[in-house]
Amino acid sequence: MRADRLVATLLLMQTRGRVTAAEIAAELEVSVATARRDLEALSAAGVPVYPQAGRGGGWSLIGGARTDLSGLTAGEARALFLLTGPSAGAVPEARSALRKLLRALPATFRGEAEAAADAVVIDPAGWGRTGRELPGMVQQLQQAVVRRRRIMLRYQGRTGAATERVIDPWGLVDKDAIWYLVAGTEHGRRTYRVDRILHAEPTEQQAHRPADLDLPALWTEIVEEMEQRRATTAATALISERLLPILRDRQGRHCEVLGPAPDGRIRVRLTAHTPRAIAEQLAGWGSDIEVIKPAAVRDELAALGTALVERYGR
């Protein structure tokens, strides 16, 4: 994973002082192009690494620090952990590498770096929609999470009404290009869609963040709660093995593979909040997918088919 490679690259530079992309590639068993991209990513994130051209050149850390990371400023340490932390969340080895790197940081930087490493979770499983752009507010919210500052939030709910509130930001989640802010409020834990935040203004008040907060575990709990609310209707269907990856990509967590059917197709379980919603999601597949049960979903598909024939049959 890229996160543990970046950490390993930085520690290698700490040990050797100066390294080439070829040396890193050989040490980490990656291509030279990958090693060079990792070095450039560290530099772009604000970590003080720089290249030196010519014979005997390579990549070095500014200041030449070799035994610890005291050459990093607080901002540079935050940048590194914001860069590596999200993608390391699901990889035990990468999380272990980050913990080792934390212990190497000066104590004055350790708190913010640790907060940065836990500020973002990336959930690759989608809700069934893709293609949304990264909200411009994410970086501002990240800084508030890392610096532990309360936020004055103006938020537009699902009804369209806007309200103002002061929240304690706990962390951000990137789920299928849809960003969520997990926060504490006077009414308990809340989850906000970032694209519905109309305005966010950090305050000088210290935010409260539970000492035992595990953002990845908390997000898993939040997703399970959301899925229970969204998945009140389930349908069993048959689809060809060739088309299964496409269906799973579009339906995300709402598509569960049940196993092979006697005729060679694959049995799947699809969920949504109503039979109509499932039928609308599957109508475009035509005869490529066959719903076995329940009857309510089959009836909705038949009604959609009848309506389409009436409008376009001629």
pLDDT value at residue 159 = 82
**More confident of the two residues 66 and 264:** 264
290 occurs within a structural domain: yes
Instruction: Let me know whether 59 and 163 are in one domain.
Output: no
Instruction: Let me know whether 155 and 205 are in one domain.
Output: yes
257 occurs within a structural domain: yes
The answer to which of 80-89, 207-216, 260-269 has the lowest mean pLDDT is 80-89
What CATH number is associated with residue 80? 1.10.10
Contacts 24+ apart (CB under 8 A), 146-149: 146/78, 146/82, 146/112, 146/115, 146/116, 146/119, 147/112, 147/115, 147/202, 148/115, 148/206, 148/207, 148/209, 149/202, 149/203, 149/204, 149/205, 149/206, 149/207
Residue 252 sits in which domain range? 231-312
- Interval 97-118: pLDDT, tens: 555 555 555 555 555 555 655 5
Residue ending a domain, choose from 179, 213, 247: 213
Instruction: Let me know whether 103 and 19 are in one domain.
Output: yes
What CATH number is associated with residue 160? 2.30.30
- Interval 255-281: pLDDT, tens: 899 999 999 999 999 988 889 999 999
Reported as a pLDDT band with limits 50, 70 and 90, residue 75 is low
- Please state the domain count of the chain: 3
pLDDT value at residue 91 = 46
Residue ending a domain, choose from 117, 146, 161: 117
Residue ending a domain, choose from 117, 150, 175: 117
